[in-house]
Structure 1
Amino acid sequence: MVWTVMPDFEGYDEACSQFIWDLPASYNPAVDFLRKHENSDRVALEQAYPDGRREQYTFRELDELSDRLAVGLADLGVEAGDRVAVVVPQKPQNPITHLANWKLGAVSVPLTVLFGTDALRYRLDDAGVAVAVIDPTVRDDIDAVRDDCPALEHVIEIETNAPAGDVHAFEDVLTAPEHTDIEPYESTPDTDTAILYTSGSTGPPKGVRHSHALWLGRAAAAYNFFDQGLGPEATVWTPADWAWGAALGGTLFATWHHGGTIVGYPASGFEADEAFDLLAEFDVTRSFMPATALRLLMEVEDPTAAYDLAIETFAVGGESLTPEIVDWIAETFDSVTINEFYGQTELNLVVANNSNWFDTRPGSMGKPLPGYDLAILDPDAADRGVAERLPTGELGEIALRPHDRSVFFDEYWHMPEKTAAKEVEGWFVTGDLARQDDDGYVWFKSRKDDVIITSGYRVGPMEVESAILEHPDVVQAGVIGVPDDTRGEIIKAYVEAAEDAPAHETLREAIQSVVREHLAEYEYPREIEFADALPQTTSGKIRRKALQEWDAQGSVDEESP
């Protein structure tokens, strides 16, 4: 069957013991998201723009528009299995293109408009993209790399009537309404759906090939981390880029799977007052809000008095949910929950702090979601291809095992050796180090290859970063290990300070005191350097490799944040 509403479980143990993956034999996400709802004339998309324009799209209208685009893409030669890139921000043409792709059996390649030429060139060429649907803001970059992408036959630009050069206008590709008869491609949960690229925080980005079951896995996870509150009455918004898997699958398409309304807003950056305006205007009930964004919201004084809010649940992913955020939610809002989730591009969203089922423990990742088994493996044994489980409380590598293989990735695109290395005796290794306590909570330590060994101690940079962020004058922090003759490595922090922060020397000493207070003596940063902005991946993670390059150069590259 295809779930319209997930089962409601009263408790975590009941959910883990009774939940089963019941994937349908036939499944096309375009049909699932648009055609199964009893009232197809309900609003599916509330579209807002920074210039004040507002649009609404019903499920029926999105179905018709994606039909028209599917026919137009077919006229350009797009066939089942072809890769079609979507380089569009939070605008209607983004999901319309994905839906049209799946109606043809084509494979989506979501890419962010924040990418520069090198990032676009690599991904478009690596995936063998045949067609790219693009936003006008990336047109120059696409023109610059097009000759280096031999498979790229067609570029379609949205919001333009007469594009210059060898580019189609999106409106011209849409066929007339009377020519939209199209039968969606006969697909299953195992039919190719998308190639999602890893962030590249630890090496060259890898193309992650997924099947349609990806969206069912994300919908199940979202139902849980949104407190079983997705459905026709839900209105959901995230500031995260729809090119990011947690935003695309865990927010946008999960909402439509369950019949709710999504809010789209193509912002060029995050502004706290603007975010509160959107939450209030559209009566948003559920929001996936990265922790960095929540910290910016915390700077708004008394938001419940200034804004008429309907928010019930914030979900956080991609970075650590620190205690001050949990405290702020509890002190600021009445009966608003905050849940944290963890996943990977390859392995779906698999661990969560779900306050609806068990007490949230700030600093922990929570517990594995129903439908997955979690183990802490000896990382050295895992590197040898052996799944050796460690005792409770010991630091090791997080490994996951899905109860249905289809909800995890199929392969790294054209990387068979890396694909094989991801699975160890039936367990999918994550490269993340953590401990699991007696109550089943998982406590993240660091990436396996980011561990800092100082004076014989193993230190996870994220733990130090979280402690630094406890200081109110710190906006963002990134931590690396740098060579030291005495200690092997010492901890170095790069810090983005608030505008009204005290002098760097004063703040440096205060940060070191905060870390000493929260962590062990050996975990404080002996060196702290300040920067106007820190390098991040498009999904908001600190690029520690870039910080290491800064350290090697002996200077902060403020022109390339």
Structure 2
Amino acid sequence: MTALPADRRDDYPALHDTFRWNVPDEFNLAEVCLGRWARDRATMLRIAVYTEHEDGRRGAHTYAYLQAEANRLSRALRNLGVRRGDRVAIVMPQRIETVIAGMAVYQLGAVAMPLSMLFGPEALSYRIDHSETRVAIVDETSIDNLLAARPECPTLATVIGVGDAQGRGDLDWDTLLAAQLPSFTAEITKADDAAVLIYTSGTTGPPKGALLPHRALIGNLTGFVCSQNWYPQDHDVFWSPADWAWTGGLWDALMPALYFGKPIVGYQGRFTAERAFELLERYRVTNTFLFPTALKQMMKACPEPSARYNLRLRAIMSAGEAVGETVFSWCRDALGIVVNEMFGQTEMNYIVGNCTAQHDGERLGWPARPGSMGRPYPGHRVAVIDEDGAPCAPGVDGEVAVCTTDIHGHPDPVFFLGYWKNEAATLNKYVERDGLRWCRTGDLARMDADGYLWYQGRADDVFKSSGYRIGPSEIENCLLKHPAVSNCAVVPSPDPERGAIVKAFIVLTPSVERSAERDAALIAELQQHVRGQLAPYEYPKAIEFIDQLPMTTTGKIQRRVLRLLEEERAGKR
């Protein structure tokens, strides 16, 4: 058989068909991400984490240091009464204590509950109370909100202050650890034992706590290796602005980088495009995970980064929203990298994506198709299903679903254990058909004849206008191609005649001059821009310029907020 040219090589069938999972009976996140590296004389002094604060402070921390500090904290937590299965909240940004706290909890056999430093008192109190958390570890970014939430959290027995929050909790981190020996005998955990509790933001109802087992990391690894272009390689350094309190930062960056014994950069500060380029250059970052929103900001701020920065990037993974052809082309042309889109959820992460590695001039993996979220990663069986759970024909929109077993009939380790104290929601997440159990994602896509998936949006983001079914992604991508558009979101706006019209909320680039007359002309120009490229019913009949879009803490656009705003306005009209 004649080999395909380098730019057309497709290793996907062989990779996907021959892959087999190997999940040991006993498995612990702290052991595989820290312990084994800290014990080995060849790796114990290797840098595990670089840290940098926006005020200029920097640090470099070895595996041996992390292990000693984690041992001290494990001892202290045990003395505070934390036992196997108990929940410990970690409310801190990308700082070294966040890593240490997680490892200490894992080796105790307890459950780490990472919480975003952006959460207010109400969000914190709901999660801490609902999870019956015993201990919270918090720094200056969140101590005020946590103390305000504490009266609603009867199970929260101890608050440990970190950094500038010391002196404001029940115990201080520095004093607590200084009183402990740097040795600890870790608990032996099963691969199926609970390790992490992450509350999903959800689109309806209160947040749901997804309980993740230690083995879930194994299920992430095929996607991580592929999307990072055959990670690890010599001299690999990882960085991502994704918050370590979320699935994207924890499972897609921090834990897999440490699992492979490679350094990761933690930056504590506000994301800006300029700082992102500086960090990539300063730490010689080779691999990164950047949300499409971040890539859009970087593209607009620095269209030609090679003229200003000496970058060593060899892989970019992106997830959370569709990248779109505009950003895809910029990454390819300006950064010299074909961005690997990835799709996953907290409940079952890193399941679909691309891989465009190069080795000795030869392209490996499978060719990315601009606009596609990729194919199922090795070890995962993915389908697009209809409302009854039946597979959709190629090219037909449906809901993305993941089978609990791989193509060989073996259990897929990527799945969560269930929603915390919500058995009904857990059962509703699954559908059974023809002897197979599928986990629904709530995301819509279509699959082509070659197995590539094309994202159409959240099920609750798709709407009808004059009888036409409309998804926001294609319209948003088209708008983003216009030089005046920095970011945008498309939602339905209630209309008595059509049911709904297409409305676009647009963030303009800073260079655009504003006035009533210019705005009117620009709206007409943008409408014509879309009308000339998409179907006539897809162009935004209403456009509103906005300073910033509502975003989740994980970088996703909150279209639901804008949709509800339009419904409220329509009600008043």
1:416 aligns with 2:417: no
Alpha-carbon spacing, 1:243–1:514, altered in 2? closer, same or farther (3 Å): farther
Q: Hey, what does 1:454 align to over in structure 2?
A: 465
1:482–1:492 CA contact under 8 A, matched in 2: yes
1:392 equivalent among 391, 394, 406: 394
Note if contact 1:201-1:544 (Cα within 8 Å) is conserved in structure 2: no
Partners of 2:81 and 2:495 lie apart in 1 by 58
State the match for 1:304 in structure 2: 306
CA distance in 1, matches of 2:421, 2:522: 48
Alignment partner of 1:329: what SS?
Answer: helix
Within a 5 Å distance, the mapping from 1:301-380 to structure 2 comes to: 301-334=303-336, 336-356=337-357, 357-379=365-387
Q: Displacement of 1:200 after TM fit?
A: 2.6
User: Within 5 Å, which residues of 2 pair with 1:266-305?
Assistant: 266-267=268-269, 269-298=270-299, 299-305=301-307
Q: Measured at CA, do residues 161 and 520 of structure 1 come closer, stay the same or move farther in structure 2, by a change above 3 Å?
A: closer
Give the whole-Å Cα distance in 1 for the aligned partners of 2:475 and 2:155: 44
- Distance in 1 (CA, whole Å) between partners of 2:355 and 2:203 is 27
Q: Does 1:11 align with 2:26?
A: no
1:199 Cα deviation from its structure 2 partner: 2.1
Structure 2: how far apart are the matches of 1:394 and 1:441?
12
Identify the range of structure 1 (481-490 vs 366-375) with the bigger mean alpha-carbon deviation: 481-490
Q: Indicate whether 1:142 and 2:146 are aligned.
A: yes
Judged with a 3 Å threshold, the aligned counterparts in structure 2 of structure 1 residues 452 and 162 are, in CA distance, closer, same or farther, namely: closer
2:6 corresponds to: none
Unaligned runs of 5+ in 2: 1-8, 358-364
The aligned residue for residue 493 of structure 1 is 504
CA 301–395 in structure 1, closer or farther in 2 if over 3 Å, else same: closer
> 1:95 aligned to 2:102?
no
Letter aligned with residue 111 of structure 1: L
CA displacement at 1:246 relative to structure 2: 1.6
Give the Cα separation in 2 of the matches to 1:508 and 1:117: 40
Residue identity matched to 2:322: S
* Count of aligned residue pairs for this structure pair: 537
- Is the CA contact (8 Å cut-off) linking 2:139 and 2:164 kept in structure 1? no
Counterpart Cα distance in 1 of 2:239 and 2:313: 10
| Cα shift at 1:352 | 0.3
Residue equivalent to 1:528: 543
Q: Note if contact 1:364-1:443 (Cα within 8 Å) is conserved in structure 2.
A: yes
Query: Under a length normalisation based on structure 1, what TM-score does the superposition of the two structures give?
Result: 0.92
4+ residue runs over 4 A deviation: none
| Higher mean displacement: 429-438 or 395-404 | 395-404
CA distance in 2, matches of 1:10, 1:405: 24
Amino acid at match of 1:369: Y
Partners of 1:12 and 1:108 lie apart in 2 by 36
Distance across 2 between alignment mates of 1:350 and 1:121: 32
Pair 342,463 (structure 1): closer, same or farther in 2 beyond 3 Å: same
- Note the C-alpha offset of 1:163: 1.0
Q: Is the contact made by 1:535 and 1:543 (CA closer than 8 Å) also made in structure 2?
A: yes
In the other structure, the counterpart of 1:463 is 474
Q: Does 1:124 align with 2:138?
A: no
Following superposition, the deviation at residue 303 of structure 1 comes to 2.1
Which deviates the most, 463-472 or 64-73? 463-472
CA contact (8 A) 2:139 2:165 kept: no
What residue in structure 1 maps to residue 448 of structure 2? 437
**Identical aligned residues as a percent:** 37
Q: Aligned equivalents of 1:148 and 1:523: distance in 2?
A: 47
**Residues 147-166 of structure 1 mapped to structure 2, 5 A cutoff:** 147-160=151-164, 162-164=166-168, 166=169
Q: Secondary structure of the equivalent of 1:433? A: strand
List per-residue Cα deviations over 1:537-561 (Å, max 9, x = no partner): 1111111221123223439xxxxxx
Q: Distance in 1 between matches of 2:548 and 2:69?
A: 40
Check whether the contact 2:494–2:566 (CA below 8 A) recurs between aligned residues: no
Query: Are 1:108 and 2:112 matched, yes or no?
Result: yes
Per-residue CA distance 1:306-357 (angstroms, 9 max, x = gap): 22221111111111111122221222234x3321100011111100022232
1:301–1:369 Cα change, 3 Å: closer
CA RMSD in angstroms comes to 1.8
Cα 1:114–1:516 shift into 2, 3 Å: same
Q: TM-score of the superposition, structure 2-length normalised?
A: 0.90
Structure 1 residue 464 displacement after superposition: 2.2
Whole-Å Cα distance in 2 between the matches of residues 553 and 433 of structure 1? 26
- The partner residue of 2:531 within 507, 516, 519 is 516
Q: Is the 8 A contact 1:286 1:313 kept in 2?
A: yes
The one-letter code sitting in structure 2 at the alignment partner of 1:532 is D
- Once residues 399 and 34 of structure 2 are traced to their aligned partners in structure 1, the CA distance between those partners, rounded to angstroms, is 39
CA drift at 1:279 = 0.8
Counterpart position of 1:244: 246
Q: For the structure 1 residues 95 and 322, does the alpha-carbon distance in structure 2 shift closer, same or farther, using more than 3 Å as the test?
A: same
Aligned residue for 1:137, secondary structure, equals: coil
Mark the CA change 1:157 to 1:232 in structure 2 (over 3 Å): closer, same or farther.
farther
Shift of 1:513: 2.0
Gaps of 5+ in 1: 1-8, 382-386, 556-561
Kept after mapping to 1: 8 A contact 2:384/2:447: yes
Structure 1 letter corresponding to 2:84: A
Q: Deviations over 1:428-455 (max 9, x none)?
A: 1111111111111111112122221111
Question: 2: distance between equivalents of 1:437 and 1:266?
Answer: 41
Per-residue CA deviations over 1:377-434 (Å, capped at 9, x if unaligned) read 112x1xxxxx211211111111111432432011111111111011111011111111
Residue 102 to residue 467, structure 1, CA distance change in 2 (3 Å): same
Q: Distance in 1 between matches of 2:536 and 2:123?
A: 40
Partners in 1 of 2:234 and 2:104 — Cα distance?
Answer: 23
Residue equivalent to 1:214:
216
Return the letter of the residue paired with 1:360.
Answer: A
| 1:344 counterpart SS class | coil
Give the distance between the partners of 1:509 and 1:27, measured in 2 at CA.
59
Mapping 1:22-61, distance limit 5 Å? 22-37=22-37, 38=40, 39-61=43-65
Q: Secondary structure at the match of 2:195?
A: strand
Q: Residue 457 of structure 1: CA displacement?
A: 1.0
